[in-house]
Amino acid sequence: MGCYISYLAAFAFHILIHIIQWIIIRKYIPVIITSLLALPYIFWGLNTILKEIPINCIILYWICGVFVMCINLYIIHKIAYKRTI
């Protein structure tokens, strides 16, 4: 269950970033439709997790998931930058 919580936390954080980008830019961005469609599933997953897992475990899994996501994002951007040069 810990991995699922980590994945859901990282995915929710990722979707939140896209929604914030959309609000700041104030124009249509292609990813916004799928981001908005994913919100009900994120809320359902978070609601289910909150009912079954203690909050301290959720926070720990969330931190781990977002940490791994940030490392992955950093590595992917480095690879993408090297390919554009």
Query: What pLDDT was estimated at residue 24?
Result: 94
Query: What pLDDT was estimated at residue 42?
Result: 92
Q: Name the E strands within 6-64.
A: none
Distance separating alpha carbons of residues 35 and 73, to the nearest angstrom: 18
Range 65-80 burial, b when 16+ CB lie within 10 A, else e? bbeebeeeeeeeeeee
Query: What pLDDT was estimated at residue 85?
Result: 64
Query: What pLDDT was estimated at residue 40?
Result: 95
Other Cβ atoms closer than 10 A to 6: 20
User: What pLDDT tens digit does each residue of the chain (85 aa) get?
Assistant: 677 887 887 788 889 989 999 999 988 888 899 999 999 999 999 899 889 889 898 888 888 888 888 899 899 989 988 877 6
> 57-80 pLDDT, tens per residue?
888 888 888 888 889 989 998 998
Distance separating alpha carbons of residues 83 and 15, to the nearest angstrom: 26
Query: What pLDDT was estimated at residue 34?
Result: 93
